């Protein structure tokens, strides 16, 4: 299933199932089908666990019946599937070898790989829509940069989750762009500030349940700026895979349903180019992951 949060002509925020080029609005579908599932938000659906998924999968099977209440995806405004996360987004830094190397040009002998995942977080107000504008606050930063990443959403919470059980705790996946103010990232030393400017975490376009992704390692990520390919890699290239990330993060730290973990970016970021290419007003950033969809965001100077 592909869960979306969207706003239609009524301007009411609602949840839906993405069915190709159409969205099945869930509040109406659940009512018509007479099933008892809290579909008030994608977060509520995630918290509903396996039973919610089972009941909503029944709606997918009967999608033909609900055709009359579907809306065309191009007539609504998609929001991030989880527009208001419970708490900060967990992120992994330096998780692709080539990205670590590009950050240390001319010093190949000094490149050392991390022994444990490097975690940081982004503030909740970074969350942005799949087609939302990204603020380039020119008074604050002149070095805004992109990072395409696979985001994992936790289903069943837990602490001290072992590698072997990690996927039991995954609800699903989406595309994310960990947009970063490089100047703030460096100046403040601790990464939080440079990673937490408003609108700098576009995510979506839908939350794809894990059953739709047979082997997450095979997914390819890519990112284009104004049509120019900048980043291209496979999830399999991550240094710490999803089970390693979940095991490490949940050690002594309780993960909750709806938590978002962004798993790191491959090489090709703008700051490592010669000369560096930072995002500027009017740029269109296209972040894509095979089978999950794409984010298309315009940079707007303010």
User: Which positions lie near Mn ion, rule CB under 5 A?
Assistant: 147, 178, 265
Shortest distance, CB of residue 176 to Mn ion, whole angstroms? Answer: 9
Shortest distance (Å) from residue 195 CB to Mn ion: 7
Q: Which of 9, 15, 6 is nearest to 40 (CA)?
A: 15
Q: 18 vs 235, which CB is nearer to Mn ion?
A: 235
Of the pair 37, 151, the CB lying nearest Mn ion is at 151
C-alpha–C-alpha distance, residues 3 and 171, integer Å: 11
- Our CA angle for 247, 251, 254, nearest 5°, is 100
Q: Report the residue number whose CB is nearest to Mn ion.
A: 178
| Per-residue DSSP letter, 167 | G
To Mn ion, the closest distance from the beta carbon of 265 in angstroms equals 5
Rounded distance between C-alpha atoms, residue 177 and residue 288, angstroms = 9
CB atoms within 10 A of CB 264: 25
Return the DSSP state at 238. B
CA angle 199, 247, 190 (to 5 degrees): 40
């Amino acid at each position: 299933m592909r869960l979306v949060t969207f706003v239609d002509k009524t301007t009411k925020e609602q949840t839906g199932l993405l069915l190709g080029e159409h969205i099945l609005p869930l509040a109406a579908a659940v009512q018509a089908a007479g099933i008892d599932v809290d579909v008030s938000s994608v977060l509520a659906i995630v918290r509903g666990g396996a039973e919610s998924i089972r009941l909503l999968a029944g709606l997918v099977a009967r999608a033909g019946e609900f055709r009359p209440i579907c809306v065309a995806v191009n007539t609504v405004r998609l929001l991030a599937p989880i527009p208001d996360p419970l708490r900060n987004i967990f992120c992994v830094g330096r998780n692709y070898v080539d990205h670590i190397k590009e950050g240390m040009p001319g010093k190949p002998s000094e490149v050392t790989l991390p022994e444990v995942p490097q975690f940081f977080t982004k503030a909740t107000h970074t969350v942005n829509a799949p087609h939302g504008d990204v603020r380039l606050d020119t008074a604050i930063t002149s070095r805004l940069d992109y990072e395409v990443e696979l985001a994992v959403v936790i289903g069943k919470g837990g602490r001290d989750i072992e590698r072997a059980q990690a996927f039991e705790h995954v609800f699903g996946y989406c595309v994310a762009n960990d947009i970063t103010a490089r100047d703030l990232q460096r100046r403040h030393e601790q990464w939080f500030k440079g990673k937490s400017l408003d609108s700098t975490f576009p995510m979506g376009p839908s939350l794809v349940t894990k059953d739709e992704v047979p082997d997450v390692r095979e997914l390819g990520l890519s990112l284009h700026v104004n049509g120019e390919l900048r980043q291209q890699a496979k999830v399999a290239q991550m240094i710490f895979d999803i089970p390693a990330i979940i095991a490490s993060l949940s050690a002594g730290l309780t993960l909750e349903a709806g938590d978002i973990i962004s798993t790191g970016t491959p090489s090709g970021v703008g700051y490592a180019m010669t000369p560096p290419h930072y995002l500027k007003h009017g740029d269109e950033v296209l972040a894509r992951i095979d089978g999950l969809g794409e984010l298309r965001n315009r940079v707007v100077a303010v």
